[in-house]
């Protein structure tokens, strides 16, 4: 078993790192505290060929692998944590699931602006009464001639204030097999967004309201029976969430290490106190272990969709390691770690969210246990 990166992968890492240091290092703190989507970063990344890393060249992408995208994400996040969200949008997020199932017409209409960093896509899955129990969603399509009418509501949609196209999970009929998805563009009649709310991480989200929105036949992404395919695609989005969690933990670790090597108290540098040395040992073990699980999921994903079980294991480990390292780094850095002048507190707030988003830690453990026992365990009350 070879744990080393290939020469090409190392060269790619170096080039992404060079790009990030040149264009993103300055302003990293301000960027993290700005609520809006960093469009300037999107343009820079698109011009650098950092969007559509996993898409084929004929689709306007780079023809790379999931592992390439993971390596790029790590390098960006280590220089500018907030910019990693932009890489997410151009590679892992709603766009990736969309790209997996897009028709030629979708490709022609939407891929260009998304890959040039001029537009961003969002995914509306969660509803007020359908969070972890996503298959309880009630947003639905009813027939109207050749097309459909969409009614319902979504909450918590990332980039909801900025996206121009939304992949909306919806119901065409009863049960899991009745679930599919449609594309909704901002500005379509009957589609409105609510007042912005702020997450703890300073990201904005708005509720999405669909009031009899006309969905032309070509705006259906996946019809009834599409749910499992959508979740298979969503596993790539999970890898993006997982990678950012790990990378922000690593960012915080490195900042804390530098601080511990230079900051003196009681006449010696912090690194000489064993109580703090052990924190670094624990952080290193957590981050390295989680990274191996992430790389396994990414490498085995090749240039297709990764294995659900490997992703669930990696997400669970990286979400925890990222948050643990960020939180411990904050403790090591004392008041400086807690201050908004540095990005450690941002890493704590951000990594905390990924323990909930994209399938909570608990839902990941449910998924992992199903893999362990080779059977599914219904979370619903027993039928009487």
- Binding residues for ligand FAD, rule: CB under 6 A, are 123-126, 131-132, 156-158, 199, 353, 356-357, 360, 362-363, 366, 379
Supply the minimum distance, in Å, between the C-beta of residue 378 and ligand FAD: 9
Least CB distance to ligand FAD at residue 181 (A)? 11
Which of 8, 121, 113 is CA-nearest to residue 63? Answer: 8
**CA gap 18, 75 in Å, rounded:** 9
R_g over Cα of the chain: 21
Residue nearest to ligand FAD (CB): 131
Nearer to ligand FAD, 75 or 201 (CB): 201
Measured distance CA(70)–CA(77) in Å, rounded: 11
In the complex, the smallest distance separating the C-beta of residue 352 from ligand FAD, rounded to whole angstroms, is: 9
**Helix residue ranges per DSSP H, 306-360:** 308-338, 344-353
Nearer to ligand FAD, 47 or 362 (CB): 362
Of the pair 65, 157, the CB lying nearest ligand FAD is at 157
Q: Measure Cα distances from 367 to 129, 178, 255, 361 in Å.
A: 21, 22, 34, 10
By beta-carbon proximity to ligand FAD, the closer residue of 130 and 270 is 130
Question: Measured from the CB atom, is 65 or 201 closer to ligand FAD?
Answer: 201
Q: Which long-range contacts (CB under 8 A, 24 or more apart) does 325-328 make?
A: 325/249, 325/250, 325/252, 325/253, 325/283, 325/286, 325/287, 326/248, 326/249, 326/252, 326/350, 326/351, 328/256, 328/279, 328/282, 328/283
Question: Cβ 218 to ligand FAD, closest distance in Å?
Answer: 23
Could you tell me the smallest distance in angstroms from the CB atom of residue 89 to ligand FAD? 10
- Identify which of residues 52 and 124 has a Cβ nearer to ligand FAD in the complex: 124
Q: Could you give the C-alpha distances from 94 to 15, 125, 279, 324, in angstroms and in order? A: 26, 10, 36, 27
Residue 129 Cβ vs ligand FAD, minimum distance, rounded to whole Å: 9
Closest to 247 in 3D by CA, of 71, 21, 66, 48 = 71
């Amino acid at each position: 078993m070879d744990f080393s990166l290939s020469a090409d992968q190392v060269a790619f890492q170096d080039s992404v790192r060079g790009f990030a240091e040149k264009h993103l290092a300055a302003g990293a703190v301000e960027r993290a505290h700005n609520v809006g989507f960093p469009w300037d970063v999107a343009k820079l990344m698109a011009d650098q060929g950092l969007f559509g890393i996993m898409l084929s060249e004929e689709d306007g992408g780079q023809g790379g692998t999931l592992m390439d995208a993971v390596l790029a994400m790590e390098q960006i996040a280590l220089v500018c944590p907030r910019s990693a969200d932009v890489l997410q949008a151009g590679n892992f997020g709603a766009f990736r699931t969309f790209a997996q199932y897009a028709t030629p017409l979708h490709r022609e209409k939407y891929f260009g602006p998304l890959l040039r960093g001029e537009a961003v896509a969002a995914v509306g899955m969660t509803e007020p009464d359908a969070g972890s129990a996503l298959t309880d969603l009630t947003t639905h399509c009813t027939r109207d001639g050749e097309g459909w009418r969409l009614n319902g509501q979504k909450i918590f949609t990332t980039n909801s204030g900025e996206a121009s196209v939304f992949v909306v999970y919806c119901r065409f009929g009863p049960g899991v097999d009745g679930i599919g998805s449609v594309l909704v563009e901002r500005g379509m009649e009957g589609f409105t967004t609510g007042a912005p709310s702020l997450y703890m991480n300073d990201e904005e989200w708005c509720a999405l309201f669909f009031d009899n929105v006309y969905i032309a036949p070509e705006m259906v992404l996946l019809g009834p029976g599409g749910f499992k395919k959508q979740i298979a695609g969503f596993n790539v989005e999970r890898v993006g969430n997982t990678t950012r969690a790990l990378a922000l933990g690593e960012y915080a670790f490195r900042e804390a290490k530098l601080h511990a090597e230079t900051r003196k108290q009681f006449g010696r540098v912090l690194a000489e106190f064993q109580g703090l040395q052990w924190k670094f040992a624990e952080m290193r073990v957590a981050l390295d272990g989680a990274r191996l699980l992430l790389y396994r999921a990414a490498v085995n994903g090749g240039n297709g969709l990764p294995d659900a079980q490997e992703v669930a294991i990696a997400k669970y480990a990286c979400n925890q390691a990222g948050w643990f390292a960020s939180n411990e780094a904050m403790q090591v850095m004392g008041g400086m770690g807690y201050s908004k002048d540095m990005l450690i507190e941002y890493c704590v707030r951000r990594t905390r969210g990924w323990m909930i988003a994209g399938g909570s830690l608990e839902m990941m453990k449910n998924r992992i246990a199903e893999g362990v026992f080779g059977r599914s365990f219904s979370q619903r009350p027993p039928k009487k």
